[in-house]
A and B are shown apart, each in its own frame.
Chain A
Amino acid sequence: MPAPPTDSFVNIAVWTGAIALGVTLLLACQIVLLRVELRRHQRREAQAVARWRPLLNAAIVGEQPPLPALQSHERIHFMRLWVHLQGSLRGDARLALNAMARALGVDELARRMLARAPRDERLLAALVLGHLADRAAWDRLLPLAQAPDSALSLTALWALVRVDPQAAANYLTPLFIERDDWALSHVAGILQQAAVPTAAVLGRILPTLPEERLPRALRIAEALRVPLPGPVLAGALQSGAIAVVIAGLRSVMTPETIAEVRGLLQHPDWQVRVQAARALGRIGSREDAPRLTALLGDPQWWVRYRAAQALRELPALSRADMQAVRASLTDRFALDMLDQVLAEQESA
């Protein structure tokens, strides 16, 4: 006679299955709700855009149309459209858009949103205030720039730079150097507007920075094309920390430090040699050709590559000179590399 598994099994299994189906039904309802909400959002957006786009366009071309009140469900859509247009335009059009926003009370709205709205609305508010260059929002934007959230802090930083580049540079330059999660390229893009004040601040604080922070600070200076003060650069090139030396070499633009650069061509670390070769290509003269030719035989591919490119970039070297160099090479690797770089130049 078959003895089935205990009733408890059946009970538990059936209950589990029932709960699973119950939760599934809940999920299904949630999916439907989300879809309905999405449709409503899209409809609202289309309506808001249809209503406000002609008015915004009119403002852009210089007219002053009478403005209706901005209704609460239109706010976010209006702000998004407004920010989009601000990002695409320049000049009088932007001033007109700013005037329109202030007339509608959007600046006040954005300041309020900055304090307590959900994250995406705070991002939008920061963008709006940045475009408005709204002084009154400074105090509220500053703590946001120090928030751990990357996207939010970078956007707040951008807004602060637009409001007051000098003050932003003063307050926040140490922050750029600290925060590794702020990609250098983003920071450089934002700071383009505040290049001069940032350069001044960097010049002041670079000598005081601890060694582990120096590479990043030097990279920021390089990205902003800020010429480094002589002693700072020389100090960096003579530093014991490889990262500092590399960052310093990347910033070398003038021949003042050429002696140190030449010395670094023989450095044991291959990355230093690479950067030294590149730097020499920028600032070197004809007499550096033998040094670079010697590097063509380096065991590291990238050193050979950059040395060959630097040779090509040396100002006084003509095609005939390059052919002479090529003929003098006995190392097969060096020959291959020079051929490659010459071919690259031809097809460029």
Chain B
Amino acid sequence: MNFHHLLVEFITWFVFCYFLALNVGYLALNGFALRALRRKGQEMFMAELPRAYSGLEPPVSILVPAYNEEASIAAAIRSMLQLSYAEFEIIVVNDGSTDNTLEVLRREFALLPFPEAYRRQIATQEVRQVYRSTRYPNVRVIDKVNGGKADSLNAGINVSRYPLFCGVDADSILQRDSLSKVTEPFLRDPTVVAAGGTVRVANGCQVSGGFLTKVGLPRNMLALFQVVEYLRAFLFGRLGWSAMNGMLIISGAFGVFRKDAVVLAGGYRTNTIGEDMELVVRMHRLLRARRQPYRIEFVPDPVCWTEAPEDLRTLRNQRIRWQRGLAESLTANWGLMFSRRGGVPGWIAFPFMLLFEWLGPLVELGGYAFMIFAFFTGLISWQAFGAFLFVAIGLGILLSASGLLLEEMSFHIYPRGKQLLALGAIVILENFGYRQVNALWRLVGMWRWATQRESSWGAMQRRGTVKDADGAPPPN
């Protein structure tokens, strides 16, 4: 009898402490982000003034992997050409599309074959031909055998001419100053090797000509939840990590890297689902081991927008994939954790990711399941059960609210008061089901990773992981 009580006691305390630690950890991250934002906010108005001193920005090669994008690729590239940036080139990588993507590109951009002296810095699938646009001299297209997004990016790196490259998804919606904002850390600090841009939810916003014209909130409930989720977890959390130089993820939708650093690290890894995160973690690991001073930064300005999934099935698949990608990125780079020269990434960020992101779904759901089971079998009193729910949901609401506060302090992109109220309501509602279901999906992702479901993996590779199985793009 006593043993049972002790066990129940232990588990309830454990779950409580875990929830507390998780939320406090994220709150601390938001706290770090707050400091970084203060400084940032003061510079923002300077950006609105015509530059007093005009310094040339470093030239950038924009890499656009494309798989079966015949409907939207031309418009996407056209809008990228409108970026207001001093010097850049666009390299579209046609990853063995089975539709008319290449034809569309050939027609719209007047492509002609170009005798590229292909430089095999990183091994890739065979490149069939390189084309150059006669209408826009800074656009080149690579036609290659299908190999997945990571492989396409590697091919793009091989062909790029400039010291920086920017990996963009074909359906990322950018702003005219996106590139200049995200390359600004490289100007300020010569040790920066990578910079990630914020990805925001485009649902409900007006988009035309490939550019965002007006910011709005989506009507779809799921999309609304994701807006708040992004504010809570993906935006300011990353800024907090960036302030400590422990940022482990740069979104594949928009990120700028130093080419030589990436080549030195070996390029993108093709046999993983989360290739964007895996590269960054690997860069941390290798640069730390080599004791090379470096920084990986995060630019909090809203520079990139993508469509978030609006139906359960697509969202579920996306979250399952993310969790698998996370697990793969971490396990591929075990050496970073608690390594002697690991610094913040090795001693704080990696364990944090492991404990709270990777293990999180298990403990969260396990905790809920246990408490429900214990309540219904009478092992715990209704007061304890109630208290547990109160704490779990209360802390969740606090965390979401802190994300909203940071947004209001910094960019306040939702101008109308009604929108703010709606977001406030979602901050509360999010914790009554969405977060829990999310944890469930992530648990499935863990399971799939653990059992290594080869079949779906193979199908993904064949299709190219630019688009999700059900057609929605991954914001992460």
Confirm or deny: A9 has a beta carbon within 8 angstroms of a beta carbon on chain B.
Answer: yes
Cβ-defined partner of B189 (8 Å) among A2, A14, A24, A181: A181
Q: Among residues 1 to 50 in chain B, which have CB atoms less than 8 Å away from a CB atom of chain A? A: 1, 5, 8-9, 12-13, 16, 20, 23, 39, 41-43, 45-46, 48-50
Known: A14-B390, A28-B424, A301-B117. A180 touches B190 (CB 8 A): yes
- Please tell me if B108 contacts chain A, counting CB pairs below 8 Å: no
Chain A residues with CB under 8 A of B187:
183, 185-186
A contact residues around B208 at 8 Å (CB): none
A305 — which chain B residues lie within 8 A by C-beta? 117
A205 located at the interface, meaning its Cβ lies under 8 Å from any Cβ of chain B in the complex: no
**Bound state CA distance, A35 and B407, in angstroms?**
11
Of the residues B8, B55, B115, B417, contact of A336 by C-beta under 8 Å? B115
Task: Give every chain B residue within 8 A of A30 (Cβ-Cβ).
Answer: 405
A120 vs chain B, min Cβ distance (A): 4
- A98 within 8 Å of B (CB atoms): no
A124 to B48, CA, bound (A): 12
With a cutoff of 8 Å between Cβ atoms, the chain B residues found around residue A21 in the complex are: 394, 397-398
A-B contact count (CB 8 A): 169
Contact assessment for A24 and B55 in the assembled complex, using a CB-CB cutoff below 8 Å = no
Closest Cβ of chain A to B444, distance in Å, is 29
B391→A10 contact, CB < 8 A: no
Residue total for A at the interface (Cβ-Cβ under 8 A): 62
Interchain CB contact under 8 A, A17 and B117 = no
Q: Which single residue of chain A is at the shortest CB-CB distance from B13? A: A9
Q: Does B116 contact A (CB under 8 A)?
A: yes
Enumerate chain B residues within 8 angstroms of A80, measured Cβ to Cβ: 45, 49
Q: How far is the CB of A303 from chain B (nearest CB, A)?
A: 12
Residue A231 CB within 8 A of the other chain: no
Task: Name the contact of B50 in the complex, choosing from A14, A31, A87 (C-beta under 8 A).
Answer: A87
For A241-278 the 0/1 string (1 means CB < 8 A from B) is 00000000000000000000000000000000000000
B9, B53, B401, B408: most-surrounded residue (chain A CB, <10 A): B53
When distances are taken between beta carbons in the complex, the residues of chain A under 8 Å from B332 are none
Residues of B with C-beta under 8 A to A124: 45
Nearest CB of A to B192, in Å:
11
Interface SS, B side: helix
In the complex formed, the residue of A with least CB distance to B412 is A38
Whether the pair A120, B45 counts as a contact (CB closer than 8 A) is: yes
The number of residues on chain B lying at the interface, defined by a beta carbon within 8 Å of a beta carbon of chain A, is 64
Q: Which of B118-141 contact A (CB under 8 A)?
A: 119, 132, 134, 137
**Are B49 and A186 neighbours in the complex by a CB distance under 8 Å?**
no
How many angstroms from the CA of A35 to the CA of B188 in the assembled complex?
31
Shortest CB distance B47–A (Å): 10
Q: Is the CB of B52 within 8 A of A24?
A: no
Contact call A189/B387, Cβ cutoff below 8 A: no
* Cβ proximity bits B57-78 to A, threshold 8 Å, 1 near / 0 not: 1100000000000000000000
A284 to B223, CA, bound (A): 62
Check if A13 sits within 8 Å of B388, measured CB to CB. Answer: yes
Cβ contacts under 8 Å, B41 to chain A: 120
Assuming the A-B contacts A2-B378, A119-B42, are A35 and B50 also in contact, with contact meaning beta carbons closer than 8 angstroms in the complex? no
Give the residue of A13, A38, A180, A337 whose beta carbon is less than 8 angstroms from that of B117: A337
Query: Measured between alpha carbons, how far is A340 from B115 in the docked complex, in Å?
Result: 5
A residues 293-345 near B (Cβ < 8 Å) are: 301, 304-305, 333, 336-337, 339-340, 343
> Residues 11-27 of chain A: 1 if any B CB is under 8 Å from the residue's CB, otherwise 0?
01110111011011001
B381 at the interface (CB under 8 A from A): yes
Indicate if B348 sits at the interface (CB-CB under 8 A). no
Chain B residues within an 8 Å CB radius of A69 = none
Nearest chain-A residue to B416 (Cβ)? A35
Q: Report the minimal beta-carbon distance from A68 to chain B, rounded to whole angstroms.
A: 25
Q: How far is the CA of A14 from the CA of B388 in the complex (A)?
A: 8
Given A84-B50, A130-B52, decide whether A10 and B383 contact each other with a Cβ distance below 8 A: yes
B379 within 8 A of A: yes
Could you tell me the distance between the alpha carbons of A155 and B388 in the complex, rounded to whole angstroms? 54
Of B42, B53, B383, B404, the contact of A31 (CB 8 Å cutoff): B404
Cβ contacts under 8 Å, B404 to chain A: 27, 31
> Is the beta-carbon distance between B55 and A118 smaller than 8 angstroms?
no
- Contact check, B115 vs A35: say whether CB atoms are below 8 A apart: no
A188 an interface residue at 8 Å Cβ cutoff?
yes
A123 to B51 alpha-carbon distance, docked (Å): 13
A5 x B117 contact (CB < 8 A): no
The reply to whether B395 and A16 form a contact with Cβ atoms under 8 Å apart is: yes
Q: With A20-B397, A87-B51, A180-B190 in contact, do A118 and B42 touch (Cβ < 8 Å)?
A: yes
Mark interface residues in A117-132 (1 if CB within 8 Å of B CB, else 0): 0111001100100100
A residues within 8 A CB of B451? none
Which residues of chain A from 169 to 193 have a CB within 8 Å of any chain B CB?
180-181, 183-190
CB-based contact A120/B43 at 8 Å: yes
Cβ–Cβ < 8 Å partners of A187 in chain B: 55
Assembled-state Cα–Cα distance A348/B51 (Å): 30
B137 and A347 within 8 A (CB): yes
How many whole Å from A322's CB to the nearest CB in chain B?
A: 14
The residues in B between 288 and 305 inclusive whose CB is less than 8 angstroms from any CB of A are none
In this assembly, does B114 line the interface, its C-beta being within 8 Å of a C-beta of chain A?
Answer: yes
* Chain A min CB distance to B225 (Å): 18
Docked CA distance A38–B409 (Å): 9
Instruction: Tell yes or no: B312 within 8 A of A by CB.
Output: no
- Is A83 at the interface (CB under 8 A from chain B)? yes
Instruction: Check B53–A154 contact: CB distance below 8 A.
Output: yes
Residues of B within 8 A of A10 (CB): 381, 383-384, 387
Residues of A within 8 A of B49 (CB): 80, 83-84, 87, 127
B residues neighboring A (CB under 8 Å): 1, 5, 8-9, 12-13, 16, 20, 23, 39, 41-43, 45-46, 48-58, 112, 114-117, 119, 132, 134, 137, 187-190, 378-381, 383-384, 387-388, 390-391, 393-395, 397-398, 401-402, 404-405, 408-409, 412, 417, 420, 424
In order of increasing CB-CB distance, the 10 nearest A-B pairs are A185-B55, A87-B50, A120-B42, A4-B381, A13-B387, A186-B55, A17-B394, A17-B390, A20-B394, A336-B117
A17-B387, A27-B402 given. 4 additional CB < 8 A pairs? A17-B391, A31-B424, A120-B41, A347-B112
Interface CB pairs A-B, < 8 A, 28: A4-B380, A4-B383, A5-B9, A5-B13, A5-B381, A9-B12, A13-B391, A20-B395, A31-B404, A31-B420, A35-B412, A80-B45, A84-B48, A84-B49, A87-B51, A88-B50, A119-B39, A119-B42, A120-B43, A130-B52, A158-B52, A183-B188, A187-B55, A336-B115, A339-B115, A339-B117, A340-B115, A347-B132
